[in-house]
Amino acid sequence: MRIRIACRDGVGRCGDLEIKDRMVSIPNIIYLHSKRFPSPDFAEIIGTLDGRGKEGKVTIDFSPFSERIIYPASMPPSFHRLVEEGDLCIIPSNLEGDIPDIKFRRRIFILANLVSIYERSRIFVRNLVEARERVGYNSILYAPGVADAKNLSLLIY
């Protein structure tokens, strides 16, 4: 996996991501794909929990993380731990905005629980900015579940 950042502004990044010998533009959306809820045909990146994606699409298997315990954002910071595997790292978002120290370089950082604090805008932004400062400016932040039609362009920026 390689990342090429062409430009940046604030916590936003634009560029290219090479996954499994395929290039996709970033920012992008990882669409979850399952038998019950298939991903749209225009999706460039597919996330799966069973390792099966769509032919011709970049597929990311999230199954190694499905067995990990991610505590709710309302739990005290002592419950929140990083989960690191390969190029991925799960960062637990929390009400205090206290992101743990990140000791190892990773390519993609998944912000868990971020959707649960979306309604609290100051805490949401504090978690997002703190995570960006901790992981560095050449890594990808993935915030599952926070985008909808009203805020997608703002969140991508």
SS3 content of the chain, % helix, strand, coil (to 5): 20, 30, 50
Structure tokens at 74: 């309302």
Residue 71: DSSP 8-state: -
Mean pLDDT of residues grouped by 10 in the chain (157 residues)?
80 80 84 82 83 74 57 57 68 73 76 80 83 82 75 62
Q: Which residue has the tokens 């190029």?
A: 87
> What pLDDT shows up at residue 127?
82
| pLDDT value of position 7 | 85
For residue 27, whether the previous peptide bond is cis, meaning omega lies within 30 degrees of 0, is yes
Pairing mode of beta strands 30-32, 58-61? unpaired
Tokens of 17: 């991501």
Positive or negative, the CA dihedral 11, 152, 66, 63 is negative
pTM strictly above 0.95: no
Cβ(156)–Cβ(150) below 8 Å: no
